[in-house]
A and B are shown apart, each in its own frame.
Chain A
Amino acid sequence: MASVSKSPGISAEVAVATGEMLLRSDALVADAPESGLIELCRQGDPRAFARLVALHERMVFNLSARLLGDVEEAKDLSQEVFLQVYRTIQRFEGRSSLKTWIYRIVVNQCHNRQRWWRRRKKDQSRPLEDLTAHEEEALSTKGASSGPFEDLARREQARRVQAGLAEISFDQRAILVLREVEGMSCEEIGTALHLPIGTVKSRLARGREALRQVLVGKKEV
């Protein structure tokens, strides 16, 4: 507002004020603290919701892709997740962070989805392993690797881990991915999934052991 009062003419003053308002409005959405963004979303501000989607889409897509092992399915589910966020954000009480709340929605949706997806939409599925080298290069943030052999080894390891994840139970897989891929602490996982921390730790231990057996077993064969 200080810049407005310094402006010379009235019309210039209005123009500056309007421009400033627009800029401040954009800045409000872009840099809003989480609570402000949530409040704007509750009021039905589409830009705020688009911002919310942009902030969390990567996390949502990654988590669902790792849990479901399918690109198309993960894309579809990610949209479902944000639809649910849009519908239910009025009920978000703010006791946990928005991100933690979204984690829970993703895990629940993945849990429900995997019961029927493979049966009904098998023709549309596209396993993560099917990503071409070019796509994976484009998709990976760790693309700046040292050389083609390292790339190949990394891709092969990722393929094996993803295939191994498909063989352990969903509950163990969910906690393993949240812990190892998303880097959440056991406390955060417990808050997100409404589980006691002891349950989280024991599932994590069992999940690691199950995946070890799958991967090491394959290695030995």
Chain B
Amino acid sequence: MSCSRVRNDLSEYMDGDLSGARLHAVSAHLESCSGCTQHLAELRGVSEAMTSLPRLATPEPLAAGVFDRLEVESRGPGLALIFRSAWAARPLIFPSVVPAALVLCTTLSLLLSMGARDLKTYHEGSHGQNHFSDMADATGTDLNPFMPVAGVSLPQTAGGGIFVEDLLARMGRPVDRQPFFFETTVTRDGRVRNLRLIQGEPYLAGALIQAMRMERFVPGRDDGRPVAVRTYRLFETVEVRAPLT
């Protein structure tokens, strides 16, 4: 039996786990081989050194620390909250749900009430000399983009004042066909305000603007409530003639 094979068996030999032919072979080899005998002695020395390691006492009883940790674990919120069932976590969730719901309700109600009235002050300030106390931009326009335009009825002609078409029929001079394109606001009481000539000759549009200002409309409505509506009007087929004298 070679030394390397014997040395592989020395650990079991030490523990008395060898028997039969292997035990005899190792014993016989050890009697004749001083190297392996020395090796065995060293292994025994290692084993004894480990066995004689001092037994350590715990620096302090562990139970108290374990119970402390258990208590922290049982009440700790933080990330553990996510992994708990909703019912187990209710004392921690409910106090934060109530203010969260309040904030959400307040925000929603503010958004819903942002109709014409709340935006009025802002636009009055920004429009300067053209402001009207009862005017605000229609919903869904570029100045009031918060609410959709769907559901807003358009203003309808109500009669009264001067009909623009009559005026158009009588005004002008025989020069050319002149299209006029206006941006106006029909206010909540049906008046026409904020007239702005987008296209057309300003010096020819004076009478038309005066006539339009005298028009009366049934105001547009949003959910039954009268609202100011921005309108665009194109007078395309006007045949401009000589002015009335």
The answer, yes or no, to whether B62 is at the interface (CB within 8 Å) is yes
Measured between alpha carbons, how far is A127 from B206 in the docked complex, in Å?
99
Residues of B in contact (CB 8 Å), total 34
If A162-B53, A209-B43, A212-B43 touch, whether A78 touches B58 (CB-CB below 8 Å) is yes
Whether A136 touches B46, Cβ cut-off 8 Å, given contacts A46-B67, A57-B63, A82-B62, is no
Min distance, Cβ A39 to any Cβ of chain B, angstroms: 19
CB 8 Å contact bits of B55-71 with A (1 = contact, 0 = none): 11111111101110110
- The 28 listed contacts between A and B (C-beta, < 8 Å) are A53-B62, A54-B61, A54-B63, A57-B58, A61-B57, A61-B58, A62-B55, A66-B53, A78-B58, A79-B62, A79-B66, A83-B66, A83-B70, A86-B66, A139-B56, A142-B55, A158-B54, A162-B53, A176-B50, A177-B50, A201-B11, A204-B11, A208-B46, A209-B7, A211-B50, A212-B45, A215-B46, A216-B42
Residue of B7, B12, B56 contacting most chain A CB atoms (<10 Å): B56
A171 to chain B, nearest CB (A): 15
B residues near A158, Cβ cutoff 8 Å:
52-54
- Judge if B8 is at the interface, Cβ distance under 8 Å: yes
**Residues in A neighbouring B63, C-beta threshold 8 A:** 49-50, 53-54, 57, 82
State the CA gap A142–B51 with chains docked (Å).
Answer: 12
Number of A-B contacts (CB under 8 A): 112
Asked if residues B66 and A53 are in contact (CB atoms below 8 Å), the reply is yes
A-side residues, CB < 8 A to B, are: 46, 49-50, 53-54, 57-58, 60-62, 65-66, 71, 75, 78-79, 82-83, 86, 128, 136, 138-142, 154, 157-158, 160-162, 176-177, 180-181, 183, 186, 201, 204-205, 208-209, 211-212, 215-216
